[in-house]
Each structure stands twice: as structure tokens, then as C-alpha cells.
Amino acid sequence: MELPQMPELMGLSLLLGLLALMATAAVARGWLRAEEETGSRPAGQKANGFPPDKSLKSKKQKQHQRIRKEKPQQHNFTHRLLAAALKSHSGNISCMDFSSNGKYLATCADDRTVRIWSTKDFLQREHRSLRANVELDHATLVRFSPDCRAFIVWLANGDTLRVFKMTKREDGGYTFTANPEDFPKKHKAPVVNIGIADTGKFIMTASSDTTILIWNLKGHVLSTINTNQMNNTYAAISPCSRFVASCGFTPDVKVWEVCFGKKGDFQEVMRAFELKGHSAAVHFFAFSNDSRRMASVSKDGTWKLWDTDVEYKKQQDPYLLRTGCFEEASTMLCRLALSPDAQVLALASGSSIHLYNTRRGEKEECFEQVHGECITDLSFDITGRLLASCGDRAVRLFHNTPGHRAVVEEMQGLLKRASNESTRQRLQQQLTQAQEALRSLGALKK
């Protein structure tokens, strides 16, 4: 057999090597191209070339969407009698309370905070507030202590009372410290209201069944009241601290006296009197500042003003002074507030407020769509010049023009009967002040 010549073998080897080199280079270029495509593919781009999954968005887009969801647009409201809007809460406000010295307003919301506002800033551009955090819960009700050095809240999840002490700092601010232990759980149904007697002798809590509890300040139950009203829609302590009242399914308001001995020791709770006259369930009631007047609103579509300055221990019943029509009460739950002098009645239904003159029973002002949610609380300040309401994330304050008009009417009547000059001068000064207030608000009737 004849062997091939050497030049032919070398040529074949070179050809095979060149082909192997070209194949290796092609494979390498493919790997590089694949790596470049993988590196340059946008976040969320699938490897098979399909468009990115819409559920996989960038972190920034998700954050922007979360911010929009967590911060809904604030409800806008304007009115010529709107004095101020307090806006610091990030959640809906459920309750508010003016301090007995008139210096502060406390508000609580589902943002786990209680805000303490300075009332002297209400008519200023800036509204200062101090924040107290409610740890691991949020408050649905808040009430100041009589000495304004503490406040109590009802905890939404804990279903109990918590006490916060207010300690003044050197810079003028306050530090809020919760008591180590909350009150024991006693109620079996949701609580509709709480209160502290202005004497500081007892605390009241009322639930939506038929139970009202009277506590001492240390968290011990002194007495249990069964209202026998099928359910309780509201209960409150009178400003004089003598009475506890409740309303509910029955067409009356029941009032009890909380009795203490001369040494301050608790004795008993006894039935005092009732407000009888409505023909359907009572939604709400309120006391005047001196507890001599009460107002109520009922599902029968009426509101009533009562004289409660009676000798109830001699079986004397309260006198009905005025009945007014409020048809909204027949179709929805309503709240009311009575001015400190009992001259003006404020009624809230849904997100609207109606102001009535209690002397004549006439509606004088109406504020519609005040809040983005239903009104949860309504209250006059201790001077009676401002009316506060809450329901969304803001507290709105209104000038009480019906109150100024009532003062004008009263002073004009008293001037006609004044017998000496000093009395006439005093009455004239009060009349002038009320007229000037109305004139500045553009509400003086000619």
C-alpha cells in the first residue's frame, strides 16, 4: 500500500484546524450575544421575549400608588361663617372634648393619636397641636379631666378605658404618659359614651345594651345602672355632676342622681326624673352649662327644650318649653349640641348642621356637606361663640351667629325694663358687643 505524500497530509490538518477554530468562534459569539441580551433586558422582561408582566412594576411606581391610596383627597368646604378648619389628623376623627378651662380641645382619630389643640389659635392662620400616641390601638372617645391635667380615652380594640397624664415641660409643651394599667373590661356591648364628673368624683361609661357603669378614678365599679330602654343610643353626665342621663329605644330620657356623702364617699344612684313627651325613640340629648335646661331630638321628627330646674324629690316633672320640627330625625340618626346659655340648638344629620333659635323655634343657619363623612361629634366651646364639628380628618369651627342674635334680642328686652343707669350701661355694652360681632360677620339684620 502506497502512503500519501507529506504535503497533502499537512494541508488536510490545516483545513481541519481552521474549521474547528471557526466553530469555536461562532459558539463564543453566541454566548456573548446571549449575555448582552440578558444584561440589557428591562426589569420584569421575560427571557422568552414576551412583554414584561404588568403585575411586576418598579418599586417607585408601587410607592406612588400606595401614597395615593393612603392619602385620600381632603374634603373641601367653604362658608362665610366658617371660622377655622383644624387639619393634623391622618385618620377620621371620632370624638372631641373642650377642656373645662376653655384653653384646649382634644380630638381622637383612627390614626392612633390624640391631638391637643390650643383654642387661642383658632382664629389665627396657624393651628398648633400636641400629639399623644395610643400604642397598639386607637381611641374612639376622649374626655378631659376636670383639672385639665389628664384625659381618658376609650380603646377601640382593647374595649376599656386608658388614662393619660399631661405633664408640662419647661418649653411650654406637654408630655403625655399612659397609666401602666388600663381599666378592667366590664362591658359586653360596644360603648356609646364616656364622661368624667366635673367634681372629679366618678367616671361614667355606657354601652349599647342597657348598661351604664359608675367608676371611681382608680378603676373600681361603684354602681351598675340598667336603663331598661332595650338599648342605649347615648348617655352623659350633667355639667353640675349630679346627674347621669340616657336615651335609647324608648320615647323618653331617663335621669339618675349619683349621690355622695359629705365626706365624698359614694352612697347610691337613685332615679331623679324623666323627660316625657316624644312619641318615638330618642336619638340624642344635651344639657345646658348650668344643667337647668335640656334638649332632645327624637325619631318622631321633633326636637324639644326642657326646663329641668325642678324639685324632682317632690315628684315635680320637668317643664316643656319649646317643640321644634326636624324631619331629618325621622329617617336617620341625629346628634345635637345645646349652647351653654341654651339659646341655640345645633342639630346634625348626615354631614349637615342646622342651627335653631330656642326662643322662637326657628331655623337660622344651615351648613350642608360640612364633612366628607357623617358627622361624629358636635359641640359648642365654653364661650358659646363657636360651634365645632368633626366627621372626616378635620375639625370645622363655625361662628355662632344665632347666639349673637339671641343676645341682641335679650338685651333689647332687658333695656326696656332696666330701672337704674348702671344696669342700663351694662346691658347697652353687651348689646353693642353682640351687634359689632354680627356686623363683622356680615350677619347683622337691618
pLDDT at residue 87, as a whole number: 93
Instruction: Inform me whether the pLDDT recorded for 277 exceeds 80.
Output: yes
Instruction: Inform me whether the pLDDT recorded for 232 exceeds 80.
Output: yes
Cα angle 259, 263, 265 (rounded to 5 degrees) comes to 45
What is the tens place of the pLDDT at every residue in 16-56?
A: 565 666 656 555 565 545 444 444 444 444 333 334 444 44
pLDDT at residue 218, as a whole number: 93
Average pLDDT, the chain: 87
Q: Within 13 Å, how many C-alpha atoms sit on residue 197's CB side?
A: 20
Contact 268, 223 (CB under 8 A): yes
Grid cell at residue 398:
363655625
Among 79, 86, 98, smallest CA distance to 384 is for: 98
What is the tens place of the pLDDT at every residue in 249-264?
A: 999 999 999 999 999 8
Instruction: Inform me whether the pLDDT recorded for 6 exceeds 70.
Output: no
Element (H, E) at 236: strand 232-237
Highest mean pLDDT among 10-19, 33-42, 81-90 belongs to 81-90
Element (H, E) at 32: helix 6-40
The predicted model gives 278-282 an average pLDDT of 96
* CB-based contacts of 285, cutoff 8 Å, min separation 6: 234, 236, 245, 247, 253, 275, 294, 295, 296, 297, 336
Radius of gyration of the chain (CA): 35
The Cα 252–Cα 300 span in angstroms is 12
Q: Is 256 helix (H, G, I), strand (E, B) or coil?
A: strand
What is the value of pTM for the model shown? 0.81
Instruction: Inform me whether the pLDDT recorded for 405 exceeds 80.
Output: yes
The predicted model gives 109-116 an average pLDDT of 96
| CB-count burial class (<10 Å; 0-12, 13-18, 19+) for 411 | buried
The Cα 441–Cα 364 span in angstroms is 15
Bridge partners, 86 (sequence order): 395
The Cα 234–Cα 207 span in angstroms is 8
The Cα 6–Cα 12 span in angstroms is 10
The predicted model gives 298-326 an average pLDDT of 96
* CB-based contacts of 212, cutoff 8 Å, min separation 6: 204, 205, 206, 224, 225, 227, 232, 235, 244, 246
